[in-house]
Amino acid sequence: MRCLKCAAENREGRKFCAQCGQALKLVCSSCGAPNEPGEKFCGDCGAALAVRAQPGAIQSPRAASAAPDIRVSSEQTDASTAVDGERKTVTALFADIKGSTELEQDLDPEAARAIVDPALKLMMDAVHRYDGYVVQSTGDGIFALFGAPLV
């Protein structure tokens, strides 16, 4: 399983990255949404997730606090349900490698990853350099936020 923060490859069954301590997310095979280790169903679409973590495993407090809690709400019904907090302007970045599908079409998976991974690492390094947060890593791209949780 690939760490979304540092892009390190981790063995199956890990809850936290062996390189940076980041909680490893399970990615839903139906909709691509990230889910927490130990969850059995996707929080976005309800599809069953592959169980990778051992039940009852103890989480590292340092690693659990490493991932910021970011929630995006599409609409708010009325003022009585307002959430405490502050309003921030955030910037969302979607970046992918143009033409990667055609490039990888005739390659074996390991060779394709060897080509794509260095580019993904450069993208993630650029996001981290400007204090961004990589929310999700897709096969050939990333989704990142700037301005949340820190301005």
Give the domain CATH number at 143.
3.30.70.1230
> Are 3 and 62 part of one and the same domain?
yes
Asked whether residue 40 is domain-assigned, the answer is yes
pLDDT tens track for 86-96: 788 899 999 99
Identify whether 61 is preceded by a cis peptide bond (ω within 30 of 0).
Answer: no
Asked whether residue 149 is domain-assigned, the answer is yes
Q: Which domain holds residue 147?
A: 87-151
What is the tally of structural domains in the chain?
A: 2
Q: Is residue 144 scored above 90 in pLDDT?
A: yes
> Are 34 and 93 part of one and the same domain?
no
Asked whether residue 21 is domain-assigned, the answer is yes
Q: What is the pTM of this model?
A: 0.43
Contact 113, 119 (CB under 8 A): no
Confidence of residue 76 (pLDDT cuts 50, 70, 90): low
For residue 56, the model assigns a pLDDT of 35
